Structure 1
């Protein structure tokens, strides 16, 4: 199973060398086996990449994330059509019942709100707000018809960062979250595509201009986990998102986590989560979607 997230900043070129990634930077040459890599993140405007390497990356289902001049992920290259039953899975996905999608979305939203509550509780001793969040958790209905997710998110962020906080505000919290969410969104796209799923067909998100509706559905329970990691390694240490902080955020994918009684990394848990989602949808049993809990992150320090 792949495990490396490779971050490359301002290299001269990257290319294929005997099933290895060859990286040239400042006169030095580095080699990394492709079999070890899950994600490659590229920063800088001058890196040359060969089509031969891109072809081999797709065969290994290695995701490439490209960042803009502000170091924010702005595009991705991922494998397409490598799943052995892609057409059959696409037909199944297009035929998912409305009731089943509503029920699975209820479970996803509840997992997200539960993780928000648990993260809030670990750093804020505001019993009233936590009680309100608990009520919102219990009120989630099929399809989240009353938008408990949106109401909970507003209360959650205001509790963490103040009543004047909005997700549009320019501040280190938002910059770090936007970067972190882009990382888990990119990784989730890789996982879902690897299972032969059509990324534009979501269970809740259905924006006609969004090519990653399903990805945005599946990543929701992982957002509070990223919030926790950002709070731990970035916030309170600097006023801007430095290169070192970006590396810390990316390293979230390598953090140890328990899932189904076994120790994995966040990256591996995301892959297992997608597989449990596929099983739940194929068998029409939402209880087969194994929950993701912030409490399962292994805190080693």
Structure 2
């Protein structure tokens, strides 16, 4: 199983050499075994990649993320049809009932909300706001028809960054979160495809213009963990999303978390979460969903 995320910054040329990626930059060559890699993040405007390498990435279920001029992920290359029973699994996915999806969405979004509450507590947010979030979570219903998730998010972000804060603000913390969330989304999408599902068919997200509805569903519990991770990285001296900060944010995938009493990498936790989701929704039993808990996030 791979474990490494490769970050390419203006590499000259990437190609396949035997079972390795050959990276050529300034006439120097670096070789990385494909078996070590789970994802490649490419940025800059001076990198070329061979079609033979793209084919090898697909066969080895290695995600390729392309970043724009602002260093934010803007494209994702995923494998196609590598799961051995992909048709069977996609047919089952297309037949998930509304009640199945609503039941699992309640369980998924509750994990996110509880993790937001834990992070707010960690930061010492005022008790009245903690109590408000706790009360909103207690009113969560199947399918979250009353949008408790949205209300908790409002209290959460206001508590962390002030009442005037919005996720559209042109500030470093938003750039960092956008970058971090995109890394999570890309990794979850890679795992979804590797398990024979399609990313377009979600349980809650169902935007016809979104190719990653299911990834947007299943990444939710991990968002507050990324918020916590970014909080450990940034300080008052940081004014922009530097190369150093981007590398540290990407390293989130290699951090460790306790899952069912065992210490695993975040990538492994995502694998187990997606696999448990498949079992839980097919069984219509949300208790089978693996618990992703901020309080069990170890990090460096």
Same fold flag (TM > 0.5): yes
Question: What SS is found at the alignment partner of 1:64?
Answer: strand
What is the RMSD of the two structures over their aligned residues, measured on CA atoms?
0.9
1:64-100 deviation digits (Å, cap 9, x = unpaired): 0000111110001011110011110011011111111
Deviation at 1:236, TM superposition (A): 2.8
Deviation sequence 1:31-82 (CA, Å, 0-9, x none): 1100000000001111110011111111110000000111110001011110
| Cα separation, 2, equivalents of 1:154 and 1:160 | 10
1:265 is matched with: 265
Give the direction of change, closer, same or farther, for the CA distance of 1:235–1:192 in structure 2 (3 Å limit). Answer: farther
Contact 1:109 1:140 survives alignment (8 Å): no
Kept in 2: contact 1:15–1:49 (CA 8 A) = yes
| Aligned 1:211-226 pairs, distance under 5 A | 211-226=211-226
TM-score normalised by L of structure 1: 0.98
Task: Determine the structure 2 residue equivalent to 1:134.
Answer: 134
Partner of 1:232: 232
Quote how far apart the aligned CAs of 1:27 are: 2.2
Report the Cα offset of residue 299 of structure 1: 4.4
Residues 133-191 of structure 1: per-residue CA shift (max 9 Å, x gap):
00111111010000011111111001000111001111111010001001000111001
Structure 1 range deviating more: 235-244 or 204-213: 235-244
Aligned to 1:184: 184
TM-score by length of 2: 0.98
Q: 2 CA distance for matches of 1:143 and 1:130?
A: 23
Q: Deviations over 1:240-270 (max 9, x none)?
A: 1100000010001110111122211111110
Structure 2 unaligned segments of length 5 or more: list them: none
Report the Cα distance in structure 2 between the residues aligned to 1:265 and 1:167, rounded to whole angstroms: 28
Structure 1 residue 237: Cα displacement = 3.7
Q: Which residue does 1:122 correspond to in 2?
A: 122
Assess, with a 3 A threshold, how the Cα gap between structure 1 residues 237 and 191 changes in structure 2: closer, same or farther. farther
Match of 2:275 in 1: 275
Contact 1:199–1:213, Cα closer than 8 Å, also in 2: yes
Cα drift, residue 209 of structure 1: 0.8
- Quote the offset at 1:26 in angstroms: 2.0
